[in-house]
Structure 1
Amino acid sequence: MFFLLSKTLHFLLMPYIWVLLLMFLALFLRSQKWRRISLISSLVILVVLSNPFLSNEAWRAWEVEPMPVKDVVDYDVAVILTGVTSYREDVPDRIHTSKGADRFLHPLMLYRMGKIKKFFVTGGSGYILKDRIPEADQIKKILVLAGVPATDIITESSSRNTRENAQHTADQLRNHPEWKKVLLVTSAFHMRRAAACFKKAGVKADSFTADFYGYERRFTPDELIIPNIAAFSSWHLLIHEVSGFLIYKLLGYC
Structure 2
Amino acid sequence: MDLALTPLLFWLKKIVVALVLPPLLPLLPIVLGLLLGMRWRRLGNALAWSGVALNLLLISPPSVSWLVRQVEHAQALEADAARRAQAIVILGAGRRSHAPEFGGETVNRLALERLRYGARLARETGLPILVTGGTVRDETPEAQLMQAALREDFGLEARWVETAARDTRENARFSAVHLGAADIDAVLLVTHAMHMKRAQAEFEAAGLAVIPAPTAWLGGGEDDAGADQALPLLPSQNTAYAGWFALHELLGGLAYRWSR
2:145 is aligned, of 131, 138, 143, to 138
TM-superposed CA distance for 1:110, in Å, is 1.4
Write the mapping of 1:153-164 to structure 2, written as runs, cut at 5 A.
153-164=159-170
5+ unaligned residues in a row in structure 2: which ranges? 1-5
**C-alpha distance 217-165 of structure 1, shift in aligned 2 (>3 A):** same
Find the aligned partners of 1:168 and 1:226 in 2 and give their Cα distance: 42
Deviations 1:27-54 (A, max 9, x none): 2211121022112212211322221132
Q: Percent identity?
A: 26
Contact 2:191 2:215 in 1 (8 A): yes
User: Match of 1:238?
Assistant: 246
Q: Which one-letter code corresponds to 2:165 in the other structure?
A: S
**Aligned pair in 2 of structure 1 residues 20, 209: CA closer, same or farther (>3 Å)?**
same
Q: Partners of 2:49 and 2:31 in 1: how far apart?
A: 12
Give SS of 1:15's match. coil
What SS is found at the alignment partner of 2:119?
Answer: helix
| TM-score, normalised relative to structure 1 | 0.85
**Aligned twin of 2:180:** 174
Unaligned runs of 5+ in 1: none
Q: How does 1:153-232 map to 2 (within 5 A)?
A: 153-177=159-183, 179=184, 181-218=186-223, 219=225, 226-232=234-240
Q: Distance in 2 between matches of 1:199 and 1:69?
A: 19
- Report which stretch shifted further, 74-83 or 158-167: 74-83
- The number of equivalent residue pairs is 245
Q: CA deviation at 1:79?
A: 0.9
Deviates more, 1:17-26 or 1:242-251: 17-26
Contact 1:63–1:190 (CA<8 Å) still a contact in 2?
Answer: yes
1:20 Cα offset (Å):
2.3
Which portions of structure 1, spanning 4 or more consecutive aligned residues, are displaced by more than 4 angstroms?
89-92, 222-225
Shift of 1:231: 1.7
TM-score normalised by length of structure 2: 0.83
* Stretch of structure 1 that moved more, 43-52 or 90-99: 90-99
Q: Which residue matches 1:56?
A: 65
Match of 2:14 in 1: 7
